[in-house]
Structure 1
Amino acid sequence: MTSLSPQPSLSRIRIGSAPDSWGVWFPDDPQQVPWQRFLDEVAQSGYEWIELGPYGYLPTDPTVLTEETSRRGLKVSAGTVFTGLHHGESVWEKTWAHVADNAVLAQAMGAEHLVVIPSFWRDDKTGAVLEPDTLTPEQWRDLASLTERLGQRVREEYGLRIVVHPHADTHIDSEENVVRFLDATDSDLVSLCLDTGHYAYCGGDSVKLIETYGSRIGYLHLKQVDPEILADVRAKGTPFGPAVAQGVMCEPPKGVPELGPVLSAAQKLGVELFAIVEQDMYPCEPDAPLPIAMRTRAFLRSCGA
């Protein structure tokens, strides 16, 4: 358990939150809160930075979105895209079309990053197995080379940096696979979005990764897992979506990893970093996110952030 006693200021860490912390996983879903409520409540919670979330959830007209965010004192740190680049050249054009839509909006909103999430090997909503959970050597080569191409093109055309997000039920998940991916890609083109919850879910140590691969850490997602629920999820082989519904991702500081040491390690890197709170809660009751968000923001302030 992390102490709530005040900690030294984390001056290089820019704290924010995301639609994910309001139970938003899809552009449109009857179980999700309206986007206006998300914006109202994230501002009420004391955050000034947000991510765009799934493309189409927030308004995609930059003029409208700028007006809506500005009057609430909010700014955008990143957009998010989903990719399946291990499938090779056959998916490139479709992937780029999806990326370009997101990048146009992110750029227009003044964002600096594009969070890239690998495609799931089993469906995040139903748990249906879509493909093998391990990649062939050829698929690893395609994943690395096409991610580098994506990083270069996004930078050249939109001025954004991609940050690849290791994620449960994808092929970039465990320490072994994250390190393999980092070692296979150009550090100038590909950085990492370290999600502390997903990395712990898959057995990784966030502080160790920051200390070992600090120059590759370009962005943070702050999240914790409940160790008891995680043990049950692992024992039963529960897919990620149902595991989230079970409460595997929990409100800090009730889970692991301790976020204070993670933030301290990130501060020591000596670079400006976004640290965006993402507590997976899909689905959740509409009134649940706001009080959690307010408590989480207060907790992070006690850590110095």
Structure 2
Amino acid sequence: MTRPLKLGSAPDSWGVWYPDDARQTPWVRFLDEVAQAGYTRIELGPYGYLPTEPEQLKDELGRRGLEMTAGTIFEHLHRTDSWDSTWKDVSDAARLTAAMGAEHLVVIPDFWRDPSTGEIIEDAQLTDGEWPVYARRMNRLAKAIRDEFGLRIQFHPHADSHVDTQVNVERFLAETDPALVSLCLDTGHIAYCGGDNLDLIRRHRERIGYVHLKQVDPAVVDQVHRDGIGFGQAVAMGAMCEPPLGVPEMGPILASLAELDQDMFAIVEQDMYPCVADQPLPIATRTLTTLHACGPLR
């Protein structure tokens, strides 16, 4: 039995990485254009980019026929004495997400390399002693978010973070509690870091609870890895590209995910920071058509 995935988009596909940045698409334009492109579901994006007053945000979404699928927030629980600062950021996003009627919170690990400059600011790998500590903190966070806000954490492996390659993704899954922590499978980040999306779906089907759909340009990614370029600079070089121009191929991934027979969101999230104002809408429109031709979506 198969169940089509529920397609949506995100501020990221409009060049949005930060709560406030003059180079980003203004939030009103994003909401207008994501609806114009034909999407009916969106993510929250960086907390503070969209209005944080629940009634205002509900009104803005409702007038455009949009549904909120999940909040998105970074965490830094691998660092010493990080609980209080992480909890403040994550709980603020969770509170607004729950108020929008969503059930998921996409949680992203912070970077070991500065996304703006590419400077290495931490060790790129966790030690064998740090992994179980990090996992226990993530379990604690997931339980607190579930108990206080009724949300399920969907953990998002990310380039230039400690949970990046397939080896590290699988170690994270092995160390964390499946009853608390699910995986946001980001097809672009898995491919960027040399992983195999179909293999992860096949061998960890019970852990995948949410999806980000994106492709990477293999030629750009090869250069990035060869020259030691940071993720922020890679995005500016076009590492994340419009389907069907990159990898991984979307059709087999969508078919494999549909076979999981879950009520699952698949959110288009093409990193384009920074981008010119008129670039996102036509890409988003074409991507919607392309993805519907690739596999079972609704």
TM-score by length of 2: 0.98
- Aligned-partner residue type, residue 262 of structure 1: I
Alignment partners' CA distance in 2, 1:106 and 1:138: 34
Counterpart residue number, 1:38: 30
The letter for the 1-side match of 2:138 is T
Partner of 2:203: 212
Aligned to 2:16: 24
Note if contact 1:10-1:263 (Cα within 8 Å) is conserved in structure 2.
no
C-alpha distance in 2 between matches for 1:91 and 1:245: 30
Does the Cα contact within 8 Å between 1:87 and 1:142 map onto a contact in 2? no
Corresponding residue of 1:64:
56
CA shift, 1:11, in A, is 4.0
Contact 1:224 1:250 in 2 (8 A): yes
Give distance in 2, aligned partners of 1:156 and 1:186: 15
Alignment of structure 1 residues 99-138 onto 2, 5 Å: 99-138=90-129
Moved over 2 A (4+): 9-12
Kindly tell me the number of residue pairs found equivalent between the two proteins: 296
In structure 2, distance between residues paired with 1:131 and 1:32: 28
Partner Cα distance (1:200, 1:138) in 2: 28
Hey, what does 2:233 align to over in structure 1? 242
> Shift in Å at residue 12 of structure 1?
3.1
Query: SS where residue 184 of structure 2 aligns?
Result: strand
Q: Do structure 1's residue 289 and structure 2's residue 287 form an aligned pair? A: no
Structure 1: gaps of 5 or more residues = 1-8
User: Contact 2:2–2:259 (CA<8 Å) still a contact in 1?
Assistant: no
Q: Distance in 1 between matches of 2:133 and 2:46?
A: 25
Q: C-alpha root-mean-square deviation of aligned residues, in Å?
A: 1.1
Q: 1: distance between equivalents of 2:204 and 2:248?
A: 18
Cα distance between partner residues in 2 of 1:116 and 1:145: 15
Q: Give the letter aligned to residue 48 of structure 1.
A: T
The one of 62, 70, 79 aligned to 2:71: 79
Aligned to 1:3: none
SS in 2 for 1:211: helix
Q: Gapped runs of 5+ residues in structure 2?
A: none
Partner of 1:196: 187
**SS of 2:82's equivalent?**
helix
Structure 1 residues 204-242: Cα deviation after superposition (integer angstroms, max 9, x where no partner): 011110010000001000000001111111110110000
Within 5 Å, give how 1:154-165 maps onto structure 2.
Answer: 154-165=145-156
User: In structure 1, what is the equivalent of residue 7 of structure 2?
Assistant: 15
**Counterpart amino acid of residue 272 in structure 2:** M
- For normalisation by structure 1, the TM-score amounts to 0.95
- 1:126-275 equivalences under 5 Å are 126-275=117-266
- Look up the equivalent residue of 1:217 and give its one-letter code: I
Q: Aligned equivalents of 2:133 and 2:109: distance in 1?
A: 13
SS of the counterpart of 2:129?
A: helix
How far 1:141 sits from its partner (Å)?
Answer: 1.4
State whether structure 2 residue 270 is matched by structure 1 residue 279.
yes
- 1:86 is displaced (CA, Å) by 1.2
CA distance in 2, matches of 1:233, 1:97: 34
- How far apart are 1:10 and its partner, in Å? 7.0
- Identity of aligned pairs, percent? 58
Amino acid at match of 1:185: T
The reply to whether residue 298 of structure 1 matches residue 289 of structure 2 is yes
Q: CA deviation at 1:138?
A: 2.3
Q: Is the 8 A contact 1:229 1:247 kept in 2?
A: yes
d(CA) in 1 for partners of 2:118, 2:128: 25
C-alpha displacement of 1:77: 0.5
Q: Which amino acid aligns with 2:63?
A: R
How many Å separate the matches in 2 of 1:60 and 1:194? 27
The letter of the residue matching 1:117 is: I
Question: In 1, distance between residues paired with 2:18 and 2:278?
Answer: 18
**Cα 1:75–1:10 shift into 2, 3 Å:** farther
Q: Does residue 1:49 correspond to 2:41, yes or no?
A: yes
Query: 3-state SS of the aligned residue for 2:34?
Result: helix
In the alignment, residue 13 of structure 1 is paired with which amino acid? L
